A and B are shown apart, each in its own frame.
Chain A
């Protein structure tokens, strides 16, 4: 077991975890943050995307111990005081959600993009979510949602 300390959605967390535990297992099984999903377990589908110090990572490929001392942001930290973020609101309004299983990871990839590039080009948007698979929507509405959120701009 390894002792770790990290911040998750602004909240300090301290835990003792097996060395082989993934960040995804830590979030889902220890913290009950089940928004990040396991879609493949090998970092190919993006359903488990979270932000590690602002960078998007597939949490199934990151060990919990690697997050020691870092800042983790998950889909559960995206709304503030019960208010959807502009990005979440855009997903709702654009009809960018069908089954919803890819949605948390998709929004976190989009969030990472908007953090580093508040007004991205269409190419940047496509690139940012190219690693997030969605089988339902055909992506069009997702791209439109991210574009709409970026046009609103500013508000993170």
Chain B
């Protein structure tokens, strides 16, 4: 029997909005505990230096200072995939902004005052800032001890005595033979600068080291269980000794994945006799000390036939990891297996190098390397199309992955992957592709259109898992417990919809934890990679089924029928065909009581889980294997206007199609698309780190680093969500949260070519950048 969906797919409003619009939602920023101390940092003014001497005597002597720590006090190495990082720099500093000394004091003012009294003597050493230089022999080594670092073996391949933290290879077919046979060749280079996530809540963590060896942590994080696990690895504590609370999180976008400030506040708390210690990053530290998106330098070579079929593609990706590997090595891995775009490429050769430099380090950021590689690929696809004299949309149509094609890692493209070509066609239609833009109002302005494809799969370990618990309350309502974090995406609301649908209860009778707490909410790897609705959705479906099984067992006994003859509907259970005999869940939730007082059953608590299945590590020499639980495809179509006098770009309209499989909540999905597109416009038009020649970040504030404001919206945004189902997704859904950001710069770059006839190869496409290229080409307004 197929039931019409009551909640899944509907625009149910988010469950946390009332708390958020009243200011009562509590974030880590807002938390305070009795006796809590405040921490501040001394950071390195140098990009590369030896620490000669650290004198903290004056700082420690200041009244109200409870702990002062330097790297020499801490013999711990941290790292997600590569244990290459200290809590505080020890012996050397590797980037400007790196924490060197930390102070915990009664007030933040005292802690900052103490930091000003710390004297650190440095001896600057040779630095390397461009990862291409860092790959050359004889380059200064950012980590001379790289060969001795513990790392995730079999997945990452650091090269000792170089700056290469990881080299990911993809080898498919015979590239050399195929490129020789190609009738049309394109070779091009592209660059992306490092970019900041800019969550509105900066990183914040509180820890208290308890006298019995346990530690309690409150943190603005995407990853309660990963924080717990990595703390356990770093400090040799049993997992149960570490309790991680995650209250509301003010944005993450990947920057709050993994482990960040938690070890710092823990060691400060220990040093301060176990008082809770809070550290909140300043906005400048958010830019300068905490990790960013890596920069990228791409070299792309495409060979095609005259008929417009790609026969070979070679790409070299050189990632600017900055001083530490963190997530960067995995970005370099994941973006490599996506590194030819969503196209059928029979002969492919990709080298993706993640390279240490003396800059602030990189981590995951929405899109996980895909915005960066597709900036190059999707611009190169347009250039190849023009060499062929083909319409760029038509060239894509001829090469997009379709049934039976193999991806560059050897995965077969099936109907369950969705339909990339439908995404392309949808955005082409939405921007009247093929029809020239109307004339701009001003003679200094030019208009153009561009299209770009996107794709991404969750980048996660082959054994990634999660779980959910559903408890029925005395009144028959359901409480969901999960440890995935809803830091804005809306997944909690989606999980409530799924539970209401499965349990057959009203949505208002389904609640979900707003805080995560590793002592009570069940395991989830971490909330990254657009896999929470997919994996958490499955876990909630299974937990609901477990609840229903328990309800049916009790109802079967009451009614004297087999459990499979019990129907659950309208928050009640009854024998099939006899709805009038229904017993409400509230009389079953804690166990059923007969009129004579006898009781049966017991509290209904369901458990569900999900684990990634069928994934393999990639072959170290060829990159062949199955890295992706599912793929999500999409496209953008852009029409823009550029002012040749000012260099300013205005987006007239942007259409974005994503094949969601099944839209679980239309309003929230739209929110992800609009939010992602605008964030992508930031990457396209303004955002990027600028360093001086000593490697100091020149724009670590909102004064000098512009992100989109309400004034910068496109005149029109058209989200299009397609529903070609994912066979193993909950209700057919696949992840869509990161994707709308990917390839926004590519589509804008393609449209800018259409408008000006100038190839832009580096981001951002700021007014200064546009004007410089116009001047170089002698284009007059």
Interface residues of A (CB under 8 A from B): 28, 33-42, 44-45, 47, 74-76, 78-79, 84, 88, 91-93, 95, 97-104, 107, 125-127, 129-143
Max chain A Cβ within 10 angstroms of own Cβ: one of B13, B676, B709? B709
Query: How would residues 1 to 40 of chain B score, 1 for a CB under 8 Å from any chain A CB and 0 otherwise?
Result: 0000000000101101111111111110110000000000
CB <8 Å contact, A97 and B283: no
CB <8 Å contact, B674 and A98: no
| Smallest CB separation, B516 vs chain A (Å) | 15
CB <8 Å contact, B488 and A44: no
CB <8 Å contact, A45 and B702: yes
| Known A91-B17, A99-B249, A138-B679: A42·B701 in contact at CB below 8 Å | yes
Task: Give the chain A neighbours of B674 by CB distance below 8 A.
Answer: 137-138, 140-141
| Known A84-B18, A140-B674: A98·B489 in contact at CB below 8 Å | yes
CB <8 Å contact, B200 and A104: no
Instruction: Decide yes or no whether B667 CB sits under 8 A from chain A.
Output: yes
Stretch at the interface among B445-453, B456-464, B501-509, B710-718: B710-718
| Smallest CB separation, B108 vs chain A (Å) | 9
Max chain A Cβ within 10 angstroms of own Cβ: one of B19, B22, B26, B707? B22
| Known A35-B23, A84-B21: A101·B667 in contact at CB below 8 Å | no
A102 to B26 alpha-carbon distance, docked (Å): 13
| Smallest CB separation, A73 vs chain B (Å) | 12
Which among B27, B671, B707 is the interface contact of A135 at CB below 8 angstroms? B707
CB <8 Å contact, A138 and B677: yes
Instruction: Decide yes or no whether B668 CB sits under 8 A from chain A.
Output: yes
Instruction: Decide yes or no whether B162 CB sits under 8 A from chain A.
Output: no
Interface residues of B in 623-671 (CB under 8 A from A): 667-668, 670-671
Task: Give the chain A neighbours of B349 by CB distance below 8 A.
Answer: none
Query: How many pairs of A and B residues are in contact by the CB < 8 Å rule?
Result: 168
CB <8 Å contact, A95 and B667: yes
Which among B23, B668, B678 is the interface contact of A75 at CB below 8 angstroms? B23
CB <8 Å contact, A138 and B675: yes
- Closest 7 CB pairs between A and B? A35-B23, A101-B250, A100-B20, A138-B678, A99-B488, A98-B488, A75-B23
Task: Give the chain A neighbours of B190 by CB distance below 8 A.
Answer: none
CB <8 Å contact, B251 and A101: yes
| Smallest CB separation, B741 vs chain A (Å) | 10
Other than the known A44-B702, A75-B22, A133-B707, what 18 A-B pairs have Cβ atoms closer than 8 Å?
Answer: A28-B30, A35-B24, A39-B283, A45-B283, A84-B18, A88-B18, A95-B670, A97-B21, A98-B488, A100-B17, A101-B199, A130-B710, A130-B711, A135-B197, A136-B200, A136-B675, A139-B708, A139-B709
Instruction: Decide yes or no whether B253 CB sits under 8 A from chain A.
Output: yes
Residue on B nearest A35 in the bound complex, by CB: B23
Which among B13, B197, B280 is the interface contact of A93 at CB below 8 angstroms? B13
Instruction: Decide yes or no whether B368 CB sits under 8 A from chain A.
Output: no
Residue on A nearest B671 in the bound complex, by CB: A95
A143 to B711 alpha-carbon distance, docked (Å): 11
A79 to B20 alpha-carbon distance, docked (Å): 12
| Smallest CB separation, B36 vs chain A (Å) | 12
Task: Give the chain A neighbours of B250 by CB distance below 8 A.
Answer: 37, 99-101
Residue on A nearest B108 in the bound complex, by CB: A25
Which among A34, A44, A92, A139 is the interface contact of B710 at CB below 8 angstroms? A139
Instruction: Decide yes or no whether B699 CB sits under 8 A from chain A.
Output: no
Task: Give the chain B neighbours of A125 by CB distance below 8 A.
Answer: 710
| Smallest CB separation, B218 vs chain A (Å) | 14
CB <8 Å contact, A136 and B202: no
Instruction: Decide yes or no whether B723 CB sits under 8 A from chain A.
Output: no
Residue on A nearest B489 in the bound complex, by CB: A98
Residue on A nearest B11 in the bound complex, by CB: A95
Task: Give the chain A neighbours of B27 by CB distance below 8 A.
Answer: 37, 101
Which among B18, B253, B283 is the interface contact of A42 at CB below 8 angstroms? B283
CB <8 Å contact, B13 and A135: no
CB <8 Å contact, B488 and A100: yes
CB <8 Å contact, B709 and A133: yes
Task: Give the chain A neighbours of B11 by CB distance below 8 A.
Answer: 95
Q: List 24 A-B contacts (CB under 8 A).
A: A35-B23, A37-B200, A39-B200, A40-B283, A40-B702, A42-B702, A76-B22, A92-B17, A93-B13, A95-B13, A95-B667, A97-B20, A98-B671, A98-B675, A99-B201, A99-B248, A99-B250, A126-B710, A133-B707, A135-B198, A135-B251, A138-B708, A140-B674, A143-B713
CB <8 Å contact, B200 and A95: no
Task: Give the chain B neighbours of A103 by CB distance below 8 A.
Answer: 20-21, 23
A107 to B24 alpha-carbon distance, docked (Å): 14
CB <8 Å contact, A133 and B200: yes
Task: Give the chain A neighbours of B280 by CB distance below 8 A.
Answer: 38
Instruction: Decide yes or no whether B766 CB sits under 8 A from chain A.
Output: no
CB <8 Å contact, A88 and B283: no
Which among A33, A79, A91, A99 is the interface contact of B200 at CB below 8 angstroms? A99
A39 to B201 alpha-carbon distance, docked (Å): 6
| Smallest CB separation, B348 vs chain A (Å) | 35
A69 to B703 alpha-carbon distance, docked (Å): 32
Which among A126, A132, A139 is the interface contact of B678 at CB below 8 angstroms? A139
Instruction: Decide yes or no whether B490 CB sits under 8 A from chain A.
Output: yes
| Known A75-B22, A138-B713: A95·B14 in contact at CB below 8 Å | yes
Instruction: Decide yes or no whether B282 CB sits under 8 A from chain A.
Output: yes
CB <8 Å contact, B22 and A135: no
Residue on A nearest B220 in the bound complex, by CB: A101
CB <8 Å contact, A99 and B22: no
Instruction: Decide yes or no whether B753 CB sits under 8 A from chain A.
Output: no
Which among A39, A44, A88, A135 is the interface contact of B679 at CB below 8 angstroms? A135
Instruction: Decide yes or no whether B317 CB sits under 8 A from chain A.
Output: no
Residue on A nearest B199 in the bound complex, by CB: A135
